[in-house]
Chains A and B, each alone.
Chain A
Amino acid sequence: MSRIAGLLLLLNVLGWSAPVVAADDYARQLIAQARADNLADTRQWRALLHYRDNLLFPGVTGQADDSRFYLAAGGKTDPRAELDATIAAFFAPPIVETDMVQHPQCRFIARYQWLYEVLDFDAARLPPQPCERFRAWRAALNASALTLVFPSAYINNPSSMFGHTLLRVDAADQDQRTRLLGYAINYAVEPGGDNGGLFILKSLVGAYPGTFSLSPYYVKVKEYSDMENRDIWEYRLNFTQPEIDRLLMHAWELGPTRFDYYFFDENCAYHLLSLFEVARPSLQLTGRFRGWVIPVDTVRSLAEQEGILAEVVYRPANNTRLRERLTRLDAIERRAVDRLLEEESPDTVLQAVPAERQARLLEAAYALLRYEDGARSRGHADAARLSRRLLLARSRLPTGEDGDVAPAVPAPRPDQGHPTRRLAVSAGRDDGRDFQGLAFRPAYNDLLDPSGGYTEGAQINFLDVALRHEQGRGHLSVEKLTLVDIYSLAPRDGFFKPVSWKINTGFARTRLNDDERIAVYRTNGGAGLALGNWNRAVVYGFMEGTFDVGGELESNYALGIGPSAGLFFHPYPAWKLNLYARWQDYPLGDRHREHEINLEQSVSLNRRHALRLALSNGRERDVEYTTASVAWHWYF
């Protein structure tokens, strides 16, 4: 009881004078009741304060890294003290609300509302505060629905390479055609000028403060769909009005609160799940994720909840729409578009074009022009003048049918793709010796994993570890330990000219002589070009370099360079083949040569199970080898 007395004394000192004695008594009574009811141990209190069980020791720790979020001195680790302090704080005298300060009842309005309901506050003895700022905010949002927004993975930006999630608040006076006007609640980090690698390293240890922000959804659409060219998936969710109100109250509490950002676990996706848990305490979402949280997995975990999905809307990125427009033009029409872009008069160019196709050509020319302008391959002033001219011509033609240039909705959706964790059991024969293997990859997707739900050609393997047991050798050995392996294979066509690239680093094995495969730390990367179409075949060529470090290498290192080429073939949706050859010449350090030819195939049984077959023949130093293996992959 002395702690309560102390809290109340503190509030007295802060200028609380009027009916102090009566309020003291009521505060004591509420605190006693909260203790008797064990409210500090309830799921809702834990969710509101973001407490999680400690990994090793008993007890909990709050995840907010912000002393203003916990009212008790030890509130970050003491839910009971925090509850006492919260109730006591609600008795603070009324204040004039400003941008800088709110009454505790308003600043922590979700806590207030919950305790108000479970403890049945007496308004006469604990007067409710008006909370005008919160009320104005809630009225402006006018929320009637919640939508989980998933901009798909963007391999060229490390903070988004696993995708991202944010929450859209849909207003009552909006419909499917005006969703741009909703507001997005976004948890993100501000890495300043740090680049990709440094960003990942620092965010592994929570060196960046993450914060929640609120912005019009159209700002987010511009960022993701128009600038980064990421397709966006919008999962409209079934939440009741009281649940939505609860979530917004809690979002209000989180708005100014700092949560340190951790790349793998306390990231955007994790924090959004915790919002949903406050909205509906029966949802158990965050508990499933220990160690790492991949956005698409959180989308899946939510989508799998009974009855929660109301509707899924696909919002293709700018480039996706442009690509679709261009594929629907025949050769003559493509030529007409080229002429429009060469600034021939639209009237002249369109003379020979049937009336119903004229609008499509002008639209395609405009879209392509905007893309070119965005890519800065044309003078800015020229582009602006031509843009207006094309649109002016378009405005003189009839509106036409909506949606006849809309790309088809990809199936399956991201939440219906394969889970990102993978366990593999394999057996094979390496140069005449049988072996068994066991491999685990916590994340995320490679080129041969079951198709659908992921960006084609974007491979990211994280912490891929493989163990091997070889016949005639008693022990288990680490075959490889890949820290990160990123492969961006992006086919070029008549309009889009992306560069493909790869980078991977980790422990690998190399053949020193017939008997010995030694471990080296290998970093390999390269750039190249790809042509083709993911539904059929993609051919690619790279120039790559390899840097090996190892105590058993001559001079302790080997630096090599050489070409590689391959064919990716996709004869059926469930069957993929990758045939490739590599040459590497190591003129520095441990001087030697390597070449190999590989055929890898995968047959997906469903989104959780797949078989892999791999054949490899090559030469490292003076060792020729042939390897064959079969593996079963389980995604979970």
Chain B
Amino acid sequence: MKNKLIIAALVTLSPLGAAMAAPNNVGCGVGAIIFEGQTGVAPQVLAVTTNGTLGNQTFGITSGTLGCAKDGVVANPVKVSLFLDTNLDKLAYDMAVGQGETLESLANLIGVDSAHKAAFFAATKSNFAEIVSSEQADTQDVIAGLNRVLAQNGELAQYARLV
């Protein structure tokens, strides 16, 4: 965790960070492992904003979205992974309980139709063990698990490719 935060801080301080950032999922955001501790140095890193170093005419953005946002708005292909990066442990909780705003927000991001929401919540609850496959699961593992579970579900298979 600590190393990651230092890297995040270095990227933030580097004026080249924004320019070098990858346009897709890979390299976007800090990356997160589920159940990591949340207090400590992280608040400072999260609160740091970067702006104006390139003289570009745009918004400052928080380092959590560095390289993944254009004019401060998160690009479509990485919306889900960035959201999970920030909310992994809260999502795990909501999935286990079967409801909650983190889970609702994920359903919205994926575009789950309101008619399918109950099924979506039920599927993530009953397949919790597969989605959060270990205590070391990271964002990509959870996305992969979610995709597998959705793909195997007749009603929800249509959403598997959207995660």
Contacts and interface: CB of A to CB of B under 8 A. Distances in A.
Answer whether A and B are interacting partners: yes
B55 A180 contact: no
Contacts of A141: 73
Given A227-B42, A256-B57, A363-B97, A213 B102 contact: no
Contacts of A391: 92-93, 95-96, 128, 132
Contacts of A179: 101
B129 A395 contact: yes
B129 A387 contact: no
Contacts of B58: 99, 255-256
Contacts of B108: 173-174, 178, 181
A178 B57 contact: no
Contact of A214 (B61, B89, B95): B61
Interface residues of A, number: 60
A133 interface: yes
A214 B60 contact: yes
A388 B99 contact: no
B96 A216 contact: no
Contact of B99 (A180, A214, A402): A402
B99 A256 contact: no
Interface in B56-82: 56-62, 64-65, 69-74, 82
A399 B98 contact: yes
A395 B95 contact: yes
Given A100-B54, A213-B51, A218-B86, A255 B40 contact: no
B74 A395 contact: no
Given A376-B40, A388-B135, A392-B128, A227 B46 contact: yes
A288 interface: no
A373 B135 CA distance: 14
- Chain A CB count within 10 A is highest, among B46, B95, B97, B125, for B97
B152 interface: no
B22 to A, nearest CB: 16
Interface in B123-160: 125-126, 128-129, 132, 134-136
B49 interface: yes
Contacts of A388: 34-35, 92, 132, 134-135
Given A101-B57, A178-B105, A179-B101, A215 B72 contact: yes
Contacts of B35: 373, 383-384, 387-388
A387 B90 CA distance: 12
B105 A366 contact: no
A384 B93 contact: no
Contact of B64 (A140, A215, A366, A380): A215
B26 interface: no
A178 B61 CA distance: 21
A364 B86 CA distance: 22
Interface of B: 34-40, 42-43, 46-49, 51-52, 54-62, 64-65, 69-74, 82-83, 86-87, 89-90, 92-93, 95-99, 101-102, 104-105, 108-109, 121, 125-126, 128-129, 132, 134-136
29 contacts: A101-B57, A173-B108, A177-B105, A178-B101, A178-B104, A180-B101, A181-B83, A183-B72, A211-B49, A212-B59, A214-B72, A216-B64, A218-B87, A219-B46, A227-B38, A255-B58, A256-B56, A359-B97, A363-B97, A384-B35, A384-B36, A384-B135, A387-B35, A388-B92, A394-B96, A395-B96, A395-B97, A399-B121, A399-B125
